[in-house]
Amino acid sequence: MIRIENLSKIYRTEEVETTALDAISLEIADGEFLSIMGPSGCGKSTLLNIIGLLDSVDSGSYQFMQQEMANFKEKERANVRKSNIGFIFQNFNLIDELTVVENVTLPLIYNNVGKAERKQRVEEVLERLDIAHRAKHFPQQLSGGQQQRVAVARALVTRPKLILADEPTGNLDSKNGNEVMELMTELHQEGATIVMVTHSAYDAAFSNRIITLKDGKIVSEKKNERQVEIV
């Protein structure tokens, strides 16, 4: 699904030049669950943003579904992103003024999905994530775990080919965090391709493979022979 070759990203100001990613090469197979680990500032979020077409590259190649993305302009990246990629963030990024239903419906409006189909898809995904009983509530009326379920529902409602998760349990207690990781595992078992940035070795153990970044380079890679079992 994803092939990255000699990819670099440099951030420049008038006084400082920072290499966020330094000639990274990486392949991610269709249906794989990959974790990206490493210390703060190592380039994890930059790599996730580039994979998610939220940021551009300075050099190298990024192919998504056999199509070169490196030279795409923002509008072109946005068109690919909105119909193929779902995002799950640490801070949920829900809109406080919108209800659960409205938050989950929003990406379908951006994708010009018809009203009847929008309603059906939203109802299905809220039922699946056991959050339908909170459909008319606002984010502030929900627990952290419930907010993250809504965020996952919003990511899934467009039926994306790729799910990107940035510290999805970072703001949750262990119980709610474990529920989110169990949900991610279920999605993976159903065939979803997932790329997750995490500081948690426990969370990373749910994935097929772990890469570790340091100073913008991949310094280690390992496969999880025995993933965490869902009890």
Q: Are 34 and 4 in contact (CB under 8 A)?
A: no
What pLDDT, on the 0 to 100 scale, is given for residue 230? Answer: 44
Distance CA 91, CA 68 (A): 31
For residues 173-208, b (16+ Cβ closer than 10 Å) or e, as one string?
Answer: eeebbbbbbebbbebbeeebbbbbbbebeebbebbb
Q: Are 3 and 29 in contact (CB under 8 A)?
A: no
What pLDDT, on the 0 to 100 scale, is given for residue 231? Answer: 42
184 SS3 class: helix
What pLDDT, on the 0 to 100 scale, is given for residue 227? Answer: 54
Average pLDDT, the chain: 93
Tens digit of each residue's pLDDT (9 = 90 or more) over 5-27: 999 999 988 889 999 999 999 99
Distance CA 78, CA 18 (A): 26
Q: List, run by run, the mean pLDDT of 10-residue segments along the chain (231 residues).
A: 96 90 96 96 94 94 94 92 92 95 95 95 94 96 93 93 94 90 91 95 95 96 69 42
